[in-house]
């Protein structure tokens, strides 16, 4: 029997990347994150995976050797923390202020040098391409080249892979295989994107605890139709929000916009249920992120929202896994 391809998942969060690769028959041999709630969720849903719950800096050569022994690593993946690259993060409010998270990609590259995987993948927000005038992007490419990898990157949209969400992300793929780098092939286009109504029907009770709205928030929400936002409100109820999607109600026939870590509150964006006067629940957000219904999020509710918002959509991850698998199989042939 052919061995399963092995995967190490850094900055794993709850394991959206891990799950997509597992669905493609691969084995996650190690995952790492230092967020205790995300770690608890990962461990609950991936009980057989070695999990290192600590800062990535503690994963040195000795520690990796003690965990992995002589296991050959085929794939190294990582959703490097992206808040500092986001237009909603420090970059927007103070673009000249150095943020230590800008340099966590260096830790990913350090571990790439230790493990020498056949393929390494960094997933991130689109802001990483322009961060520090493109220097972050250039450094990632240069560092992979120094390690002996060929590398390419591509901007992808999760909606093009069957996710009910217009979530744009950048994929850096580095390879030391003989063949070409293969990016995920889109399966959907704007004509057949999955609308939120297709994923919000009949959610299970797990992680599905609708939050009741009150006062002016409820008053505003009741007046907004699917696809509309705060701009459709009467002048006396408008908020003056700088967020263009504030109080947005989801259009049932279209994908959601990118879920943030605060999709529990209508002022935060297009997170109001298409037909009910409330924000979507953790489970509904998880469905929009294409997590299966048996995937359980743990911790306080506000933490669960954050975990879902930070996750890599599972269907995007699975499409990525398919393309990496093709690269590995072609190399072996």
User: If you write DSSP's letter for every residue of 115-167 in order, what string do you get?
Assistant: H--SEEEEEEEGGGGTGGGGHHHHHHHHHHHHTT-EEEEEEEEGGGGT-SEE-
| Mean pLDDT computed over 53-67 | 97
Which range has the worst mean pLDDT, 71-80, 89-98, 306-315?
89-98
In a domain, 143, yes or no: yes
For the chain, the domain total comes to 1
Q: Looking at the whole model, is its pTM more than 0.75?
A: yes
Point out the catalytic residue in the list 30, 49, 75, 82: 82
In a domain, 135, yes or no: yes
In a domain, 141, yes or no: yes
Over residues 122-134, the pLDDT tens digits come to 999 999 999 888 8
Q: Cα 154 to chain center, whole Å?
A: 15
- Asked whether the CA dihedral 248, 250, 253, 255 is positive or negative, the reply is positive
In a domain, 68, yes or no: yes
Burial of 39 (0-12, 13-18, 19+ CB in 10 A): buried
Cα 151 from Cα 143, distance rounded (Å): 10
Over residues 271-305, the pLDDT tens digits come to 999 999 999 999 999 999 999 999 999 999 999 99
In a domain, 22, yes or no: yes
Residue 161: pLDDT band with limits 50, 70, 90: very high
In a domain, 23, yes or no: yes
Over residues 255-272, the pLDDT tens digits come to 999 999 999 999 999 999
Q: What is the pLDDT of residue 132?
A: 84
In a domain, 91, yes or no: yes
| Beta-carbon count within 10 A of 240 CB | 6
Tell me the CATH number at 39.
Answer: 3.40.50.150
10 is catalytic: no
Domain span including residue 143: 6-188+313-332
In a domain, 231, yes or no: no
Q: Is the pLDDT of residue 200 over 80?
A: yes
């Amino acid at each position: 029997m052919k061995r399963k391809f092995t995967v190490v998942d850094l900055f794993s969060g709850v394991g959206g990347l891990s799950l997509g690769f597992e669905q493609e028959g691969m084995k996650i041999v190690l995952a790492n994150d230092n967020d205790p709630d995300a770690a608890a969720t990962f461990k609950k849903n991936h009980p057989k995976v070695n999990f290192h719950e600590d800062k990535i800096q503690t994963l040195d050569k000795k520690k990796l050797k003690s965990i992995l022994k002589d296991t050959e690593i085929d794939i190294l993946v990582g959703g490097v923390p992206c808040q500092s690259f986001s237009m909603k993060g420090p970059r927007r409010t103070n673009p000249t202020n150095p943020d230590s998270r800008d340099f966590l990609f260096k830790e990913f590259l350090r571990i790439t040098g230790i493990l020498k995987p056949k393929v390494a993948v960094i997933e991130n927000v689109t802001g990483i391409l322009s961060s520090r005038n493109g220097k972050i992007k250039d450094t990632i490419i240069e560092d992979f080249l120094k390690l002996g990898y060929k590398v390419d990157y591509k901007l992808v949209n999760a909606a093009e892979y069957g996710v009910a969400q217009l979530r744009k992300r950048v994929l850096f793929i580095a390879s030391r295989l003989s063949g070409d780098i293969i990016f995920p092939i889109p399966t959907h286009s704007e004509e057949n994107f999955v609308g939120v109504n297709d994923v919000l029907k009949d959610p299970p009770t797990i992680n599905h605890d609708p939050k009741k709205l009150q006062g002016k928030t409820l008053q505003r929400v009741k007046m907004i139709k699917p696809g509309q936002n705060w701009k459709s409100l009467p002048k006396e109820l408008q908020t003056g929000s700088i967020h263009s999607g504030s109080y947005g109600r989801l259009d049932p026939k279209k994908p959601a916009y990118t879920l943030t870590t605060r999709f529990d509150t209508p002022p935060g964006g297009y997170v109001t249920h298409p037909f009910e006067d409330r924000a979507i629940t953790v489970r509904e957000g998880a469905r929009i992120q294409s997590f299966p219904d048996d995937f359980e999020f743990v911790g306080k509710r506000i933490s669960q929202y954050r975990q879902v918002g930070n996750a890599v959509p599972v269907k995007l991850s699975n499409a990525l896994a398919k393309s990496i698998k093709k690269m590995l199989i072609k190399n072996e042939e």
